A and B are shown apart, each in its own frame.
Chain A
């Protein structure tokens, strides 16, 4: 009668340090089959089911509503119900890896390797997270007076959105804007430009241009410029279900209809709650299209591991819409960004005539 398997929280998205347990699909001592869903997890970008790797009897190490660190043990599979239900001895209750060396979160492991840190003194923690490795400031800044009450809790979707956005906010952002003439005066903003095929044309042209301006298809980190080997265009979706950036791939050379269908398919999946991790991963440049929302201008936020984002604003009465390119000044200077935006504008207007 012994432990057969430990189910760990997988690292699905780089920005996630913790994952919310949305539902426990089994109870302690339940028999489970290999592949049977044990937990439903809510990552920042998607909900996923966590299956059992083998048949046996389950002991849950977390509960519904818990925020569990990535890499942590979420459940155990035992070879008997008695073993699964037996109360663990204190030492055994620690997480896997809790011997002389503690178990490290992905970020903590990165810090340990980079700084050559000794984690031995932290072995009692069982799991070491990056925050455990950062020394407390000697002279902390006094906290602001606490507001009255506990505040209003934000919905999970909003918290996930905040985490995803925060992961990208290390840029020295600057911006350039240009007005682009739309193909016709009537209802060009209908359905975010999808009806007129303005937006699909913009997406296909962008993919081609990003290959000529690789600094806009990369990101800055640790004093170095990194360039993504391929274009994977992201399209921001935010329809009261939490912000998601759908990965459209490289649309260079695609017909406007094919690009429209790619966007519509993602919208459909988003609204039906069926976006999979593969629908969201590896975006290298994002488009945020608010052209259907009646805005003259806005400030889009650059995503994680990206150097730029393009915002599409609503057309004015003369049939022109503002394009806002926000970029990381560490990757390129304003002149190059302006050239990129003007090249996009010229190509779009050439297709419109």
Chain B
């Protein structure tokens, strides 16, 4: 769990995002974001967050759901939540 977010979590988070947006993961990157990436609107953002919760076994707070508005930000937060859970 000590690897950089970009190497460990980002590809998995991008895979979840791609599945929800019905896109090729290879076409997505860390800067993809709601309002900027086609199909990633507020509704899809909620779907993506819920899918990430299911995939990683974590739970986002309401505040973080509305603040984390890029693939990289989501991946960083998933890493934090996962590491925090592992440390307990």
Alpha-carbon distance between A195 and B43 when the two chains are bound, in angstroms: 13
Chain B interface size band reads 10 to 19
> A168-176, A177-185, A265-273: which lies at the B interface?
A265-273
Q: Is A102 an interface residue (CB 8 A)?
A: no
User: Looking across the interface, which residue of chain B has its beta carbon closest to that of A195?
Assistant: B66
A195 with B62: CB separation less than 8 A? no
- Does more than half of chain B's interface fall in helix, strand or loop, or is it mixed? helix
Contacts of A267 in B (CB 8 A): 46
Shortest C-beta distance, A319 to chain B (Å), equals 16
In the bound assembly, the distance between CA atoms of A192 and B42 in angstroms comes to 7
B45 and A271 form a contact (CB under 8 A): no
List CB contacts (< 8 Å) of A248-286 with chain B: 257, 260-261, 264-265, 267-268, 271-272
When distances are taken between beta carbons in the complex, the residues of chain A under 8 Å from B42 are 190-192, 194, 292
Is A1 located at the chain interface by the 8 A CB criterion? Answer: no
Question: Within 8 Å CB of A239, what residues of B?
Answer: 43, 46
Q: State A195–B41 Cα separation when bound (angstroms).
A: 13
The answer, among A190, A260, A292, for a CB contact under 8 Å with B62, is A260
Q: How many A-B residue pairs have CB under 8 A?
A: 42
B57 contacts partner chain A, Cβ-Cβ < 8 Å: no
Interface size on A, residues (CB 8 A): 20
B16 located at the interface, meaning its Cβ lies under 8 Å from any Cβ of chain A in the complex: no
Instruction: Give the CA-CA distance A260 to B50 in the complex, in Å.
Output: 17
Q: How distant is the Cα of A191 from the Cα of B63 in the complex, in angstroms?
A: 12
Compute how far the CA of A265 lies from the CA of B50 in the bound complex, rounded to whole angstroms.
Answer: 12
Whole-angstrom CA separation of A267 from B45 in the bound complex: 12
Decide: A261 and B41 in contact? CB cutoff 8 A: no
A333 in contact (CB, < 8 A): no
Instruction: Identify which of residues 288-318 in chain A touch chain B, using a CB-to-CB cut-off of 8 Å.
Output: 292-293
**B63 touching A257, Cβ below 8 Å:** yes
Check B66–A292 contact: CB distance below 8 A. Answer: no
A292 and B41 contact, CB distance less than 8 A: yes
Q: Is the CB of A264 within 8 A of B65?
A: yes
B67 interfacial contact with A, CB 8 Å: yes
Residues from chain B with Cβ under 8 Å of A293 in the complex: 41
Docked complex: A190-241 residues within 8 A CB-CB of B: 190-192, 194-195, 239-240
Instruction: Report yes or no: B62 in contact with A191, Cβ–Cβ below 8 A.
Output: no
How far does the Cβ of A18 sit from chain B's closest Cβ, in whole Å? Answer: 30
Bound CA–CA A189/B43 (angstroms): 12
Among A189, A191, A239, A260, chain B packs the most CB atoms within 10 A around the CB of A191
A interface residues with partner B (beta carbon < 8 Å): 187, 189-192, 194-195, 239-240, 257, 260-261, 264-265, 267-268, 271-272, 292-293
Q: 3 tightest CB-CB pairs across the interface, nearest first?
A: A264-B62, A195-B66, A292-B42
Q: Can you sample 5 A-B contacts with CB below 8 Å? A: A190-B42, A191-B65, A192-B42, A239-B43, A257-B63
Residues of B within 8 A of A (CB): 34-35, 41-43, 45-47, 50, 62-63, 65-67, 69
